[in-house]
Copies of this chain bind each other. A is one copy, B any other.
């Protein structure tokens, strides 16, 4: 029996028959009826009155169905495993949703005075202490709305730190295996990016590092375990090299799941750390966001953290806006509060033992998978030092498969979808040819990993037998393989309902195909 995703030939909302009017009920509306004319007069006089908003008027039941149907054509961790490497798609505990409901802060305004939200501030204060402890940092700021924003904040902190000392350091060192947001963030802060190659062992090439550090080195951005899932075992030497040259160490916390509770970036020599609450701490990804970021710092760098910081004077919790050297604010108000509450609950539920279990099991899962897969087939496998254990994730290469059969990492991924299993992350990190990056997190049970091995192996076998099947995949998803060339073609690009002609053209094509 085959899996099939739900398939609704669901209209766009614009294609639903719209009512002339909306019959929505607006609170207390009649009380102000008299004042509507007054306002309209004024707007009219200024010639800026809007007459029409071209969005359909429907009824509530129709709206509900539309989105329920769309949801059935989507796939998240609550549907099945989503072992996207680098994304730490772990289970989002339901108690965190309930926690948000229980706290009842939907209507709490960010400009509320501190003394009226002590219950909330205490939670944030505890969380801040916990995150500092977990990372081995002195202080954390909740400002960054996500990981990349944490990186940007960190890059600015590094920049300002050097400037304040009158040093001109404009080079940021970044491994070639790094996530794209690292160079992008550093570039946004005005740094020149110096790429450091990865050694055959899957770790930073120390000689290369030594050869580029200089008095222009502002810092090194690193994630450890790195994006190959390999722990940078020379991290203390690396830190030494960078620090000796006057540079700072930035830790990309996206991969913290591989060592949380076991080792701390602070102890490794990092000066600044960002965390992705939506990865390591179980906050949901929401189909892309919002997540939640945190940026932490040690020693002299604390002064540079974006403000405000949560503080406690022994009797009261409050926001500390004091900013002598800080980089300022990087977004309005305090942070992505719901993600912070979720992280608080997540840590509270697990405690020290649980967090350690998270790292242990996520690493166990990765290595079990690698071993099991290698027993089933040997075409798709590790690159770089195959004897080294991986941590939270692993990267396989389908390049042999591609050579043999013409089947690409993408084809393999698409075919896996047909089994009701989410595909790996494809083509990242860039240093691995035909990369398939897989991260189970601690949450996937053994039997799902076994099944993943089975499906991946079956797919490899199919590639040799009938590569066409993979090229045509997926067939069991709501829709079959999409034409991305057409999607990106500048003349055919359709970015909204306003691209009327292009849509008409597309519909014509569809009719004739």
Where the two chains meet, the residues of A that have a C-beta atom closer than 8 Å to any C-beta of B are 1-9, 16-17, 25, 58-62, 64-65, 68-69, 72, 77-80, 91, 93-94, 101, 349, 420, 443-447
Cβ-defined partner of A3 (8 Å) among B3, B9, B420, B444: B9
A158 to B59, CA, bound (A): 43
In the complex, residue of chain B having the shortest beta-carbon distance to the beta carbon of A71: B72
Q: What are the nearest 6 A-B pairs in CB distance?
A: A6-B6, A61-B91, A4-B7, A1-B9, A61-B443, A68-B78
Return chain B residues, CB-CB under 8 Å to A80.
65
**Which residue of B has the minimal Cβ distance to A67?**
B78
A61, A69, A78, A445 — most chain B CB neighbours (10 Å): A61
Which B residues are CB-close (under 8 A) to A78? Answer: 61, 64-65, 68
Nearest CB in chain B: distance from A324 CB, A: 45
| Beta-carbon contact of A93 and B7 below 8 Å | no
User: For chain A, what secondary structure do more than half of its interface residues adopt (helix, strand, loop), or is it mixed?
Assistant: loop
CA distance A420 to B60 in the complex (A): 20
Q: Which residues of the other chain, B, contact A5 by a CB distance below 8 angstroms?
A: 4, 6
Contact (Cβ within 8 A) B94 A60: yes
Q: How far is the CA of A240 from the CA of B16 in the complex (A)?
A: 51
Residue of B whose beta carbon sits closest to that of A61: B91
Least CB distance, A392 to chain B, in whole angstroms: 17
Q: For the complex, what is the distance from the CA of A58 to the CA of B349, rounded to whole Å?
A: 18
Are A447 and B4 in contact, CB atoms less than 8 angstroms apart?
no
A219 to B16 alpha-carbon distance, docked (Å): 50
> Given A60-B91, A64-B94, A79-B69, is A6 in contact with B4 using a C-beta cutoff of 8 Å?
yes
- Chain B neighbourhood of A68, CB < 8 A: 78-79
Q: Indicate if the CB atoms of A60 and B93 lie closer than 8 Å.
A: yes
What B residues does A446 contact at CB under 8 A? 17
CB distance from A81 to the nearest CB of B (A): 9
The closest CB in chain B to the CB of A6 belongs to B6
A6 to B2 Cα, complex, angstroms: 11
- Residues of chain B within 8 A of A17, CB atoms compared: 445-447
Q: How far is the CA of A4 from the CA of B4 in the complex (A)?
A: 8
Q: Shortest CB–CB separation between residue A57 and chain B, in angstroms?
A: 12
CB closest residue in chain B, given A17: B447
List, in ascending order, chain B residues with CB within 8 A of A349's CB: 25
